[in-house]
Structure 1
Amino acid sequence: MNLRSTNKIKTEAGMASMTDLVFLLLVFFIIMSTLSEPQTPLDLPQAEKGAPSSKQPKPPTSVGITADNTYFIDNNLSQELSYEEARDQLIALMNESEEKKIKIAGDKNASYESVFKLISLAQVQGWKPLLAFDKNSER
């Protein structure tokens, strides 16, 4: 029993009309681009030659966390602080600072809680936390 129909329907689409359409669009856009003129004249500023940048970027306030979960600010290792003391000093420093960036560098033996306390403080205060790491440390 042969149940297949003898009339096959071709499902191929003709590509000739598609190529005609593409070439028409190409010609249209080429003609339009040559006829168009700049609509808005731009007056761009010119850089002065030899003028150094007067504003040097200030490094972010850095906070370090030691292995025993004490904090120090701006590489002042002699002054170990608790979280509450570090938080109060950071808020005072960041209120005076123009850039609201804080660099957090933690010892690899410091607890995650100590680092995340600083990250959450930065988020609450609207600061941008930057996490530092040592490229040469063991992986």
Structure 2
Amino acid sequence: MALKRRTKISASFSMSSMTDIVFLLLIFFMITSTMVHPNAIKLLIPKKSTKKVVVDTYLNVRVTASGRFVVDGKWMGSDQVEGSLTRLFARNDNSIIRLQTDANASTGDAARVLDIAESNGVKVILDIR
């Protein structure tokens, strides 16, 4: 008795389902990559212009590597900086801070001066020479 199979086994492989999965993954990664925002500081870079800014005084602030501050030639600690800067801001409305930092100075100390200036509405110029 000779038994024959009614269905033949096919050795072919259909790639259509695999390509569907690849396209779905591609779409998923394209959508999620546009939603990611890097953590960066927003800087306002001035545009080129011939307009001159009238500044009454520059407040020279220097941050040293040892964590001390020099405000208009006076040495002080980190606890005295905010009080002296707010007193200087109260005297003059058109003042701008010129911030200098040593090469090994802490960025936290420089950020402290920037926070004080921002809370008082004073502009800061970073002097990097």
TM-score band, normalised by shorter chain: 0.5 to 0.7
After superposition, the C-alpha distances for 1:28-60 in whole angstroms (9 at most, x for unaligned) are xxxxxxxxxxxxxxxxxxxxxxxxxxxx84331
Q: 1:133: which partner in 2? A: 128
Deviations 1:46-77 (A, max 9, x none): xxxxxxxxxx8433111011110100111x2x
Matching residue of 1:98? 93
CA distance in 2, matches of 1:68, 1:89: 19
Query: Unpaired segments of 5 or more residues in structure 1?
Result: 1-55, 135-139
Runs of 4+ in 1 over 6 A off after TM superposition: none
Aligned residues: 76
Q: Within 1, Cα distance between the matches of 2:126 and 2:65?
A: 16
Cα RMSD (Å): 1.5
Q: Does 2:85 match 1:87? A: no
Return the TM-score normalized by structure 1: 0.51
Equivalent-residue separation in structure 2 for 1:88 and 1:57 (angstroms): 22
SS at match of 1:62: strand
Identical amino acids, percent of aligned pairs: 20
TM-score scaled by length of structure 2: 0.54
- Matched-pair contact (CA < 8 Å) for 2:70–2:76: yes
